[in-house]
Amino acid sequence: MHALWLENHRLRLRDDVPIPSPPAGEALVRVIRAGICNTDIELTRGYYPFTGVPGHEFVGVVERGPAALVGRRTVGEINAVCGTCPACTGGRRTHCERRTVLGIVNRHGAFADYLTLPIENLHPVPENVATDAAVFTEPLAAALEIQEQVAIGAGQRVLVVGDGKLGQLVAQTLALTGCTLTAVGRHDEKLALLAARGIATGPPDGVGRAAFDVAVECTGNPEGFAVAQRAVRPRGTLVLKSTYAGALTLDASALVVNELTLVGSRCGPFAPALRLLAEARVAVEPLIHARYPLAQVIAAFDHAVRPGVLKVLVQMEA
Amino acid sequence: MHALWLENHRLRLRDDVPIPSPPAGEALVRVIRAGICNTDIELTRGYYPFTGVPGHEFVGVVERGPAALVGRRTVGEINAVCGTCPACTGGRRTHCERRTVLGIVNRHGAFADYLTLPIENLHPVPENVATDAAVFTEPLAAALEIQEQVAIGAGQRVLVVGDGKLGQLVAQTLALTGCTLTAVGRHDEKLALLAARGIATGPPDGVGRAAFDVAVECTGNPEGFAVAQRAVRPRGTLVLKSTYAGALTLDASALVVNELTLVGSRCGPFAPALRLLAEARVAVEPLIHARYPLAQVIAAFDHAVRPGVLKVLVQMEA
């Protein structure tokens, strides 16, 4: 089959990768659409060691698996877990000590004609959700993870720092909680997408000190972190939603003196993400900036790293 | 009166400081005992800008104030607050935006014959609590703040990193929760104090990766932070109980990937601290390594910074 291949931080398109054979408990999925995530870009920069097929945001059609799923469009949770380690039995399956992660850790991913995933990871896509929209299920679930970890409700003043792919989904999902939301970023056209959803927006420099109960850092850079830390009131919560290239240096004394809580946040629940898409309560398709066929996946990556670009999709069929 | 005076990071003993005159709502307290805290030592190293009388751990006798307090031994909460700012009205009085802090921020402290504090800050010392023990009320309250912020109970695996003054009190108070407690440090004689209280102890290098639900960092150095971060399981909690000299560099990506929660923790509640002392449920007097009269307070500071030394007290009367 055709597949994008990452090796020594270099991407190349291969046509000689064997179609995977699903082991017991897994399904064979024919990928029809995949999205490029910042994590994919970071893989090419060597932030994580990974050799193989990248890609973890996808929609596919089950070709081999349970009868209830065969022929259906599905999305898939990316952590394949053992079910028996302390993390799994402790209810933290996404933290399984022996997990593989689709396109990220020891498991070939979605920029390919086919992938396999455990059957328990697959979720059928509701009929009324377009394939282009369903590709956003995984990052939307990651955005919803914030609400699994931090109680956010009406009356709370919440700041989202960063107007990129993740910041857009984080802001849209937080807006649904009834909190008093502000999103800040450096790109007028991206902020305009949020303003069109009724979200208050502005530049990072205009953020008041200690003016927010919760701040969500979605930039993955130390400047964004500093904006978020400064914005949170004493005993407030700072959610870290982005990974960071290298080490992060922070003012830990201010964190202690102001008794801040920092919460790292990663993968989230698929079911509510699919519900939001089915009910059209979030608008993800305006975030799509380009589509490329798998044959041009290298060009798709080149496009995705350009400044100001949001989501780039890869299509495996016309 | 006699008072220790800090100016340009230099300490000197003065005999010409006027006895303070308590403003409305404040009491005049004759100090009888004061403890040297790491924060006092950090003040002399210039970590915070402060000119005046340092010292915030004390026992004193009220000389002018409400009849119910005059002549009684008291301890005092160190944050003097406005009562009207958003932090105060929001129930976060220790984070008052206009606070002064005894011996730390814009308020003369306890290494002196007299101090003043708002009457509402003062707590009478129970008769059966020795003055030497009551000096520990403030740091003991700070240790108890952890339990105000993080639910800790039986069955949880909790690690205390650091066997110094603060680590000792943190470990002793956590031991009362019924959690499965381990304290690690680099000083055999300090760990022995904890072992004598039935607490499991060991060296920092022996700590298992992801073996704890909660870790409390009490060293204030990056090595201690690294031990604590490594020790916490995914979705676990890392409490920062020490301030840090300068910036702290950490692996923020691991924090995100493991979805850790970091909690900064500062001043705590005096009433339960006094209860623990009255019920003799913690042993603070074994932590006293030396006593000096106020006339030798400079020597007391020299003693307090020596390696291996725990609490040094300053006595204002024989």
The complex's ipTM works out to 0.94
Q: Which two tokens stand for residue B261?
A: 């929660």
Assess whether A115 and A232 both reside in one domain: no
Shortest distance, CA A81 to any CA of chain B (angstroms): 14
B98-118, pLDDT tens digit by residue? 999 999 999 999 999 999 999
Assess whether B147 and B220 both reside in one domain: yes
A271 falls within a domain: no
Q: What is the pLDDT of residue B123?
A: 98
Q: What is the pLDDT of residue A243?
A: 80
Shortest distance, CA B77 to any CA of chain A (angstroms): 15
Mean pLDDT, chain B, rounded, equals: 96
A57 falls within a domain: yes
Assess whether B159 and B102 both reside in one domain: no
Q: Which residue has the higher pLDDT, B28 or B49?
A: B28
A226 falls within a domain: yes
Answer yes or no: is pLDDT of A318 > 70.
no
A278 falls within a domain: no
A141-157, pLDDT tens digit by residue? 999 999 999 999 898 99
C-alpha–C-alpha distance, residues B159 and B207, integer Å: 9
Assess whether A95 and A130 both reside in one domain: yes
Specify the number of domains making up chain A. 2
B159 falls within a domain: yes
Beta-strand ranges (E) seen in A167-303 are: 180-184, 200-202, 212-217, 232-240, 248-250, 261-264, 288-293
Closest chain B CA to residue A145: B259
Q: What is the pLDDT of residue A202?
A: 97
Domain that holds residue A253: 141-264
Q: Which two tokens stand for residue B98?
A: 């206009």
C-alpha–C-alpha distance, residues A168 and A181, integer Å: 12
Across the range B21-38, mean pLDDT stands at 97
Q: What is the pLDDT of residue B195?
A: 97
Shortest distance, CA B94 to any CA of chain A (angstroms): 9
Q: For residue A258, which residues of chain B lie inside 8 Å, CB to CB?
A: 95, 264
Q: What is the pLDDT of residue B250?
A: 86
B273 falls within a domain: no
Assess whether B121 and B153 both reside in one domain: no
Assess whether A131 and A154 both reside in one domain: no
* Backbone phi, psi, residue A139, to 5°: -65, -30
Q: Are strands B57-64 and B73-76 parallel, antiparallel or unpaired?
A: antiparallel
Assess whether B164 and B228 both reside in one domain: yes
The CATH number linked to A157 is: 3.40.50.720
Assess whether A155 and A103 both reside in one domain: no
Closest chain B CA to residue A48: B253
Q: What is the pLDDT of residue A95?
A: 97
A274 falls within a domain: no
The CATH number linked to B34 is: 3.90.180.10
Confidence of residue A184 (pLDDT cuts 50, 70, 90): very high
Assess whether A74 and A177 both reside in one domain: no
Assess whether B110 and B200 both reside in one domain: no
C-alpha–C-alpha distance, residues A317 and A299, integer Å: 17
